[in-house]
Amino acid sequence: MAVREAAIEYRTKQLVAHAVNVAKQVRGGVSPHLAAGRSGAAVQLFDQVGTIVAATPDMAGKPPMTNLQPDVDAFATERRCDGPVFPGRCKIIIEYPFHRDNGVWRLDMAVADVPWYVGPRLLIPLAVGWLLLVGATAAGTYRTVGKTLR
């Protein structure tokens, strides 16, 4: 359980860093479609009155992904499953407000949540270790029983 929580915390920190970079780019000028980048993040950008002004292609025309309302000088994150914007999927979502010349804009971003098994880098060694343990136990038992029955 602690490994999964650490993975969730790490992915959340990555999301925050990505949000800071995107907000920095937006301060220079808004593009009509934001690129998700290699993180695969879904992005929505709202102006000072709450109108969506840019989004990644998968988020265009969809309602806001979160209703978080952090302070204007802070951000907020949440984990949400089966939301109206992401049915059947779990996501880590950030609302990141940032200042522009004409007011405070909002950046909403979401990435996939960490699965229960954390990932193949953890699952495969655990499964291999379990199989080795069971195999060694079976071989030892077979040998002991075989010698006893002779």
- Co-location of 14 and 77 in the same domain: yes
Please answer whether residues 97 and 66 qualify as being in contact, where contact means their C-beta atoms are separated by less than 8 angstroms: no
- Co-location of 103 and 126 in the same domain: no
- Co-location of 47 and 87 in the same domain: yes
- Co-location of 87 and 30 in the same domain: yes
Question: Which CB contacts under 8 angstroms, 24+ apart, belong to 50-55?
Answer: 50/106, 54/26, 54/30
DSSP 15-58: HHHHHHHHHHHHHH---SB---TTTT-EEEEE-TTS-EEEE-GG
7-11, 49-53, 122-126: segment of lowest average pLDDT? 122-126
Identify residue 15 by its one-letter amino acid code. L
Residue 34 pLDDT:
67
- Co-location of 83 and 143 in the same domain: no
How many separate domains does the chain show?
A: 2
Going by C-alpha positions, the residue among 64, 56, 63, 62 that lies closest to residue 34 is 56
Give the tokens for residue 61: 């025309």
- Co-location of 26 and 93 in the same domain: yes
Q: How does pLDDT run across 41-91, given as a tens digit for each residue? A: 899 999 999 999 988 888 888 999 998 988 888 999 999 999 889 999 999
- Co-location of 96 and 144 in the same domain: no
pLDDT above 70 (res 39): no
| The total number of residues written for the chain in this structure | 150
Domain limits for position 21: 2-112
- Co-location of 25 and 94 in the same domain: yes
Q: Check which CATH number belongs to the domain holding 95 and give it.
A: 3.30.450
- Co-location of 108 and 128 in the same domain: no
Identify residue 74 by its one-letter amino acid code. A
User: How far is 1 from 98, CA to CA, in rounded Å?
Assistant: 34
Residue 118 pLDDT:
82
- Co-location of 19 and 79 in the same domain: yes
- Co-location of 37 and 74 in the same domain: yes
Please answer whether residues 118 and 96 qualify as being in contact, where contact means their C-beta atoms are separated by less than 8 angstroms: no
